[in-house]
Amino acid sequence: MDMPAGINSNIFEGLPENVEMIIVTNSTMTSVADALKIRILSNELNIQIIGFVLNMWYDDGFLLSVNEIESILEVPMIGIIPYDREVERSMALGKSVAEINPSSPTSNALMQLTAHLLGEEYKPIEPDKEGILNRLKKFIGMLPD
């Protein structure tokens, strides 16, 4: 269930017994504060939290670190989805980022998270470096079309 910030307990009415939850947050203080509210509410309702996913992550000294977020939420991090411009392109095209670019950092991170949750192994898809070189060579006329 994907939930916006600022929800209240009635959103959880009608959930089945023994439901589990993954909190998705980013590294900003406001996002983590909203995630903490969800964590507290879920504890009050006896909803088990598997952990949290850090979404749209990039290295910035002004954002909260993984350790800080784990300390605040008191749940483990189970995955990091990096900030990736491919997500914007995929939204504009109305397709998933995995369809647009399966070797992008975000696609690989999402597939890794999914495999982890299913208890399976995942080998990241490497970018097609040879294909990029050949396209460049064709562009500058070093290879025929």
Asked if 51 and 44 touch (Cβ cutoff 8 Å), the reply is: no
- Residue 142: the pLDDT is 64
User: Please, what is the angle between helix 85-93 and helix 105-118, to 10°?
Assistant: 90
Q: Where are the domain boundaries for CATH 3.40.50.300 in the chain?
A: 1-83
- Residue 50 tokens read as 């598997």
| Global model pTM greater than 0.75 | yes
Asked if 11 and 47 touch (Cβ cutoff 8 Å), the reply is: no
Looking from the CA of 8 toward its CB, the CA atoms found within 13 Å total 1
- Per-residue pLDDT of the chain (145 residues), as tens digits, is 566 666 666 666 777 778 889 999 999 999 999 999 989 988 888 889 999 999 998 888 889 999 999 999 999 999 999 988 888 888 999 998 888 888 889 999 999 999 999 999 989 888 766 566 666 666 676 656 5
Q: How many CB atoms lie within 10 A of CB 23?
A: 23
Rounded Cα gap, residues 104 and 127, in angstroms: 7
Q: Architecture of 1-83 per CATH?
A: 3-Layer(aba) Sandwich (3.40)
If you search the block for the tokens 């993954």, which residue do you land on?
22
